[in-house]
Amino acid sequence: MMTKFFLYDWGGLNGVLFEVIHHNTPSILMPLAWIFSNLLGNYWGAPLVILGLWISSRQVQDNSHVLTIRHQISQFALAFGLSLAIATTLKLLCDFPRPAAVFGNLLQGDSTDWHYSLPSGHSTYAALVAGVLWPLVGIRCRFALGLYVILVGWSRIALAMHFPADVLAGWVIGFSGVAMTKRLLAAFPAISNIIKAMPGHVWYVLASVVLLVDQSTKSAVAYTFTFGEQIRVTSFFNLVHITNDGAAFSLLANAGGWQRYVFILLALGASIWMVQKLRQRLPPLEAAGFSLILGGALGNVVDRIVRGAVVDFLDFYWQAAHWPSFNLADVAIFLGVICLFASTTNRSGNNELGQKIQHGSSYRD
C-alpha cells in the first residue's frame, strides 16, 4: 500500500490534480473533450492511421521516403500490439479504481466505469500515433502532435475516466512501445539472417505451436466457462464462451449444417497448399505469414471436426458496438496476413528502388 501511495497516489497529489483539472474544465469544453477522447484518441482508429500512412506512401515520388513511411507502418502495427498488451496486463494486475469509484456523484459527465484505471489506453494510443508520425513530419506538425497527446490526456481527466497518473503511465507505455519496436525493426536484418540459416521445418514448428496454443486456450475456456457466460475484464474487453458455426463474422452461421463440411474441406485444401508453399525457399517474412495462417486455419478446422463449431472467447467493444468475437487462431491468421502484406510491400518497394537506380545508371551511361 505504501508503494501505491507514493508511486501512484503521489502522496495524495494525484487526486488533487484530478480535481483541479476536472472541476475547472468548463462545460462548454466538454464536447471538445468528448471528440478527443472518443474519436481522435480512440484506439479503434488504428486501422485509419495505417490506411492513411499507406495512402501517403502511394502519393510521394521519393522512393526513400516511400520506404520510410512503410517502415513506420510496420513499426506502428508492432508498437500498437505490444503497448496495448502491456496496458491491458497492467489494468488486470493492478485493478485500480476509476475516478467514479472514488468521487461518485461529484463528477461531471456520465462515467459508469469503476475499475481498471491504470493506465489510460487512450493516452497510450495517442503517444503511439505521435511517436510513429514524429519522424515523418516537420516542426509545425510536431508541435501539433505534442498538443494532440496533451489534449487526449486532458480529455480523459475532464470526462472523469482517468487520474493524471493513469494518463502519464499511458504516455510512458506508448512512447516506450515506439522506442522498443524501433530497436526491434533495426535488428530485423540480423534476425532475418538467423532465420535464413534455420532449417525449413522451423516454419512447421511455428504452425504447430500456434495450433497447440490455440487449442489449449479454447479447451481452458470450454472447461472453465459455461456456454454463453461473459466476464467483463475492462471497459472495452470481455471474456466470453460462444461458438461460431459459420465463417468470419458468422457468415453462413444459420445455413443448416452443410457449411461445416464445406469449411472443413476448404480449410484442409488451403492448408495443403500452404504446406506446399512452405516447402519452397521463401523470404522469412513471407514464410512466417504462411506458417501463422496455417496454424490458425488448422486450429479452427480442429474445432469444426471435434466440437462441430469454432470456439470464440475474445470480445472487444466500444460502448454498445461489439467487434465479432474471435480466438487466438483468428489472431494468428490476421498476423499472418500482415506478414504477407509487409513482405509484398517490402519486395515492391525494393523493386521500385532497384528500377530507379537502374534507370539512373542507364541515364548516366
Active site residues: 312, 330
Q: Which three cell numbers stand for residue 316?
A: 472487444
Positions of E strands within the chain: 230-234, 237-244, 310-318, 321-322
Q: Which three cell numbers stand for residue 327?
A: 480466438
Classify each residue of 225-263 as buried b or exposed e, where b means 16 or more C-beta atoms within 10 Å of its C-beta: beeeeeeebbbbbbbbbbbbbbbeeeeeeeeeeebbeeb
* Residue keyed to cell 462545460: 27
- Pairing verdict, β 321-322 and 310-318: antiparallel
Q: Which three cell numbers stand for residue 246?
A: 459459420
Minimal CA–CA distance to 170: which of 207, 131, 122? 122
CA–CA dist 243, 179 (Å, integer): 39
CA–CA dist 351, 283 (Å, integer): 15
Q: Which three cell numbers stand for residue 116?
A: 481498471
CB 327 within 8 A of CB 312: yes
* Residue keyed to cell 471538445: 32
CA–CA dist 79, 316 (Å, integer): 19
